[in-house]
């Protein structure tokens, strides 16, 4: 399912891919359900393509989100996105102990927590992934969080 959940640069929140066209995609905001066009020149990243730097490579965001879900028993994150940098990194260390201290920033952790909360509020299944989702034209190159 994360291959259909998108982050659009310059727009807050997360979006669900509804349809694709030649020069634009139609997305639906997970926050309010409004549909809007996202044009080809805008940067779109599928959450399935995002990973987090670790000391021995990187870990897919899906795995980090699953660990957060296990830690929180499927509820909202115990630390808010507006917490201090020390609180954010302490939380990330509990979830992903081997994250790269040089490459992961507080803004990345805030984004992960915000995304996690949005996904849980919308009951997005972190496990589900259809084989037909692979190679979806709406997916953009991977972005490191």
Give the tens place of pLDDT for each residue, 80-106.
878 999 999 999 999 999 999 999 999
Whether pLDDT at 133 is above 60: no
pLDDT for the residue 128: 67
Looking at the chain, the domain(s) classified CATH 2.30.30.730 span 2-47+128-133
Whether pLDDT at 25 is above 50: yes
DSSP code per residue over 48-108: GG-EEEETTEEEEHHHHHHHHHHHHTTS--SS-TTS-HHHHHHHHHHH-TTB-TTT--HHH
Residue of higher predicted confidence among 31 and 131:
31
Looking at the chain, the domain(s) classified CATH 1.10.10.1650 span 50-121
Torsions phi, psi of 49, nearest 5? -95, -5
Evaluate whether 73 touches 119 at the Cβ level (below 8 Å).
Answer: no
Domain topology for 2-47+128-133: SH3 type barrels. (2.30.30)
Predicted TM-score (pTM) of the model is 0.83
pLDDT for the residue 101: 92
Q: How far apart are CA 6 and CA 133, in angstroms?
A: 13
Whether pLDDT at 4 is above 50: yes
Q: How far apart are CA 112 and CA 91, in angstroms?
A: 11
pLDDT for the residue 136: 44
Pick the CATH number of 50-121 from 3.40.50.11540, 3.40.50.2000, 3.40.50.300, 1.10.10.1650: 1.10.10.1650
């Amino acid at each position: 399912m994360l291959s259909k959940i998108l982050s659009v640069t310059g727009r807050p929140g997360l979006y669900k891919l509804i349809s694709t066209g030649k020069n634009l995609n139609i997305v639906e905001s997970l926050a309010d359900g409004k549909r809007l066009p996202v044009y080809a020149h805008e940067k779109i990243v599928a959450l399935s393509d995002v990973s987090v730097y670790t000391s021995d490579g990187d870990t897919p965001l899906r795995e980090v989100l699953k660990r957060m879900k296990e830690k929180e028993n499927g509820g909202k994150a115990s630390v808010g996105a507006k917490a201090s940098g020390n609180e954010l990194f302490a939380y990330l260390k509990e979830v992903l102990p081997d994250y790269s201290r040089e490459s992961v920033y507080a803004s990345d952790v805030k984004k992960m927590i915000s995304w996690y909360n949005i996904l849980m509020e919308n009951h997005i299944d972190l496990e589900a992934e259809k084989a037909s989702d692979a190679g979806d034209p709406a997916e953009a190159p991977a972005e490191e969080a």
